[in-house]
Chains A and B, each alone.
Chain A
Amino acid sequence: MKETLSSVQKLSAHPDSRCWSVRWNPAGTLLASCGGDKTVRIWGREGGSWTCKGVLQDGHQRTVRKVAWSPCGNYLASASFDATTCIWKKKNDDFESLTVLEGHENEVKCVAWAPSGNLLATCSRDKSVWIWEVDEEDDYECVTVINSHTQDVKHVAWHPNQELLASASYDNNICVYKEEDDDWECCATLKGHTSTVWSLCFDAAGRRLASCSDDCTVKIWKEDPSQSTQDLSWKCVCTLSGYHGRTVYDVDWCARTGALATACGDDGVRVFKEEDGSDPEQPVFCLAAQVTRAHGQDVNCVSWNPKEAGLLASCSDDGEIGIWQFHEEQ
């Protein structure tokens, strides 16, 4: 392999607990992390290295499972096992708690902002997906509750430029939703994984989805216009199997380079690249680089920096964050 994934820095981010999630702000200057210690931490670059710029505590009573930045970068949302989602507002170099979104019956597993910044989605072990509308006064109102899944919903992700939402579940399926006559509806159910779907991510154009699962595979799904009359249709065009030794917990598709990163329960971080000139109906993805012992325990999350090509953050059950640089072949 001519590509490499090299370690830039390791941060002891959430000592004595899990680090569940890491997310870059849209400017790529700050990294937010969260974990089993009930806190959210903000990391920024100082000189050549990354350091902790702030600790957001007292927002949650239990584990903080995931964090998400608003498209403008001024707000941060945190989803917690305490059944709430906190919205934090950036004030100069600090964050203050703006509001707490309540309503889910139990653990909130994920939160995501729509590209417009006017909508927010949350999902929970209570099997539902909620969509919230944000007005100019920073007021949040739940506009719909969707019950398309039959089990625990693990992840939600918005399309990069449309108001199209996708969710992944313990029921092995992926659902895609859009607004229809003032109501949100499930317009496609993607079946193919044989166990829990842990995460999913659109590509830069939004025409494809990558999903990862407890079945140790990653699948690439493509919009299928031939099938679509009214309903959207997606088909699986590629399955990456044989690369991951255990559950694949997260997948992130780099909007700048098209590289696909995965976080795995076998402690490894892997980067896949699509082969040049491969058939769009049957794309071929190759393992470009991997670090098999990237962390001391399971890797929970991977996130590409939106501005600096190849800069990747990962985090693990051992409480650490890893910062990596993916070097492409010249």
Chain B
Amino acid sequence: MSGGTHLENANPIIFQRTGERLLTATDEDENVHDPIDDREIFDLIRTINDPEHPLSLEELNVVEQVRVKVNDGESTVDIEFTPTIPHCSMATLIGLSIKVKLLRCLPSRFKIDVHITPGTHASEEAVNKQLADKERVAAALENSSLLEVVNQCLSIRSH
């Protein structure tokens, strides 16, 4: 974690937030099978707070809807996220927050893969390996101080 006063990326580019999802006629029809789609997954993660800036991951373009791939039939979710700078020390924490959010919100049948957009981080491979290791993720989430930081990223902030 950085000391708190020094920001790694002091002037990030800020992107516009997406509007609310438009409901279709079948969305509220209980009789129609409604598979989970990319937009629903994106809505779950786009409001996650950046650990360093008072901005959402969407506003920093860390997450984008085109980098969300869900297959409801196969019960798989694949997310690519793009750190704002190639040496971002928060990359693992951001990935962990995305993973935890989806673990908490999605049915347990889903296999959730979270990794860095290829070519956008210096330690891409190491971060991806750590995020994919469920034993290390489980151990990390038993660490109360780390869990508190993750929960802060996942808390609802008024924009």
Answer whether residue A81 sits at the interface, using C-beta atoms and an 8 A cutoff. yes
Q: A62-B142, A81-B142, A196-B129 are in contact. Are A152 and B108 (CB under 8 A)?
A: no
Nearest residue (CB) in B for A82 is: B142
Flag if B142 contacts A63 (CB, 8 Å): yes
A170-193 with Cβ < 8 A to chain B: 170
Chain A 44-65: CB-based contact to B (< 8 A → 1; otherwise 0)? 0000000000000000001101
Flag if B139 contacts A265 (CB, 8 Å): no
Chain B 119-159: CB-based contact to A (< 8 A → 1; otherwise 0)? 00000000001001111101100100000000000000000
Flag if B135 contacts A109 (CB, 8 Å): yes
Answer whether residue A125 sits at the interface, using C-beta atoms and an 8 A cutoff. yes
A262-282 with Cβ < 8 A to chain B: 265-266
Tell me the bound Cα distance from A36 to B142 in angstroms: 10
Flag if B138 contacts A63 (CB, 8 Å): yes
Q: For residue B134, which residues in chain A have a CB less than 8 angstroms away from its CB?
A: 298, 317
Q: For residue A125, which residues in chain B have a CB less than 8 angstroms away from its CB?
A: 136, 139
Nearest residue (CB) in A for B132 is: A214
- Main SS of chain B's interface residues? helix
Tell me the bound Cα distance from A81 to B135 in angstroms: 10
Answer whether residue A219 sits at the interface, using C-beta atoms and an 8 A cutoff. no
Flag if B108 contacts A81 (CB, 8 Å): no
Answer whether residue A148 sits at the interface, using C-beta atoms and an 8 A cutoff. no
Tell me the bound Cα distance from A242 to B138 in angstroms: 28
Q: A246-B111, A318-B108 are in contact. Are A63 and B129 (CB under 8 A)?
A: no
Question: What distance in Å separates the Cβ of B144 from its nearest Cβ neighbour in chain A?
Answer: 11
Flag if A65 contacts B135 (CB, 8 Å): yes
Answer whether residue A18 sits at the interface, using C-beta atoms and an 8 A cutoff. yes
Tell me the bound Cα distance from A65 to B138 in angstroms: 11
Answer whether residue A107 sits at the interface, using C-beta atoms and an 8 A cutoff. yes
Flag if B129 contacts A195 (CB, 8 Å): yes
Q: For residue A36, which residues in chain B have a CB less than 8 angstroms away from its CB?
A: 138
Flag if B133 contacts A196 (CB, 8 Å): yes
Q: For residue B109, which residues in chain A have a CB less than 8 angstroms away from its CB?
A: 296-297
A246-294 with Cβ < 8 A to chain B: 246-247, 265-266
Flag if B111 contacts A265 (CB, 8 Å): yes
Flag if A81 contacts B129 (CB, 8 Å): no
Q: A246-B111, A265-B111, A297-B108 are in contact. Are A81 and B132 (CB under 8 A)?
A: no
Tell me the bound Cα distance from A296 to B109 in angstroms: 6
Chain A 1-38: CB-based contact to B (< 8 A → 1; otherwise 0)? 00000000000000000100000000000000000100
Question: What distance in Å separates the Cβ of A217 from its nearest Cβ neighbour in chain B?
Answer: 16
Question: What distance in Å separates the Cβ of A169 from its nearest Cβ neighbour in chain B?
Answer: 12
B16-54 with Cβ < 8 A to chain A: none
Flag if A107 contacts B139 (CB, 8 Å): yes
Question: What distance in Å separates the Cβ of A15 from its nearest Cβ neighbour in chain B?
Answer: 13
Q: For residue A246, which residues in chain B have a CB less than 8 angstroms away from its CB?
A: 111
Tell me the bound Cα distance from A130 to B129 in angstroms: 25
Nearest residue (CB) in A for B133 is: A196
Question: What distance in Å separates the Cβ of A116 from its nearest Cβ neighbour in chain B?
Answer: 30
Tell me the bound Cα distance from A57 to B145 in angstroms: 25
Tell me the bound Cα distance from A196 to B135 in angstroms: 12
List chain A positions with a Cβ less than 8 A from chain B: 18, 36, 62-63, 65, 81, 106-107, 109, 125, 152, 154, 170, 195-196, 214, 246-247, 265-266, 296-298, 317-318
In the complex, 27 of the A-B residue pairs with CB atoms within 8 angstroms, ordered by the A residue number, are A18-B138, A36-B138, A62-B142, A63-B142, A65-B135, A81-B138, A81-B142, A106-B139, A107-B139, A125-B136, A125-B139, A170-B129, A170-B133, A195-B129, A196-B129, A214-B129, A214-B132, A214-B133, A247-B132, A265-B111, A266-B111, A296-B109, A297-B108, A297-B109, A298-B134, A317-B108, A318-B108
The 8 closest A-B pairs by CB, nearest first: A107-B139, A81-B139, A62-B142, A297-B108, A81-B142, A63-B142, A63-B138, A196-B133
